[in-house]
Amino acid sequence: MLKSSGDRLWAITLMTIGSAVAALPIVLWAPLPAAASWPYILMSVALHAGYNLFLVRAYRAGDFGQSYPIARGSSPLLVSLGAAFFAGEQLGTLTLIGVALISAGIVSLAQIKFKRNGNPVGGYRQWDAPLSAFTTGVFIAGYTIVDGLGSRLAGSAASYAGWMFLLDGLPLLVIYLSLHGRLPLALNTRASWNALGGGMMSLLAYGIVIWAITLAPMGPVSALRETSVLFAALIARMFLGEALTPRRLLSCAVIAVGAVMLGWAA
């Protein structure tokens, strides 16, 4: 939905507002997170803001098929390394190989193109899109590690996720208002409801991830989370008619092998 939007900053701002609205019942129902987790909630909100801004930049500069796999594929290995350094998580050889295979398979799905002024040109690489996508992946790894540490201190994964998403609606709203003065919101338009609904779905999706990283090491959870790229490729082939080339099939197979290895390691 973000890639197809005409004003991507507007769309992602509405998505964060949708997440914040969906988080209200959780905040009212769940107990307050433990005091030790609040610095992590605030750090996560800041990292999510950076992630959202670079995601907008990546989708503005490059194709979905290029930006999404780089952003998602670069994060699991970074999460594993960060979790080992900051949380003392010791991952076995089989787990590390599985994470690396998933990352490599997802990144290999990216369609890096040679362009100049929008036209393919041999020998010239448009670095803006892949670098923005990789930076997005760094932010994904950063907030995953922070949320792993914070949610384990919070006493409740639900309360941690609720407050994080509630506060996450503020930074982009402030940025958008500072740039444009007002945030257009027409509830009788499909675009507004798509953006708000996307935000609500992201709360559910990432809320499950936060719950999972309170129960298992962050690296494998992050790697299995990013196998969503595999399902996206298959759905695109079945329902959108996009080509599933031999290279893409090989990439999917590498992702599947990595996921199986994580299962064995667990």
What residues make up the domain containing 155?
Answer: 8-265
CA distances from 196 to 69, 154, 202 (A): 24, 27, 10
Assigned domain for 157 exists? yes
Tens of pLDDT, residue by residue over 167-209, are: 998 999 999 999 888 887 777 778 788 888 888 998 999 999 9
Q: Per the domain annotation, does 163 fall within a domain?
A: yes
Average pLDDT value over all residues in the chain = 83
Is 2 among the domain residues?
A: no
Domain membership of residue 187 (yes or no) is yes
pLDDT over threshold 50, residue 83: yes
What per-residue confidence (pLDDT) applies to 116? 54
Q: How many domains does the chain have?
A: 1
Q: Is residue 115 part of a domain?
A: yes
**Burial bucket for residue 25 (CB in 10 Å: 0-12, 13-18, 19+):** exposed
CA distances from 147 to 16, 52, 205 (A): 17, 16, 14
Q: How confident is the model at residue 117 (pLDDT cuts 50, 70, 90)?
A: low
Query: Does residue 94 carry a pLDDT above 60?
Result: yes
Does 3 fall in a domain?
Answer: no
3-state secondary structure of 120: strand
- Does residue 184 form part of some domain? yes
**% of the chain residues with pLDDT over 70:** 89
> Binning pLDDT at 50, 70 and 90, where does residue 124 land?
very low
Least confident of 108-117, 127-136, 208-217: 108-117
Give yes or no for residue 40 having a pLDDT over 80: yes
Report the alpha-carbon distance of residue 19 to residue 195 in Å, rounded.
10
What is the model's pLDDT at position 114? 53
In a domain, 99, yes or no: yes
Residues β-bridged to residue 149: none
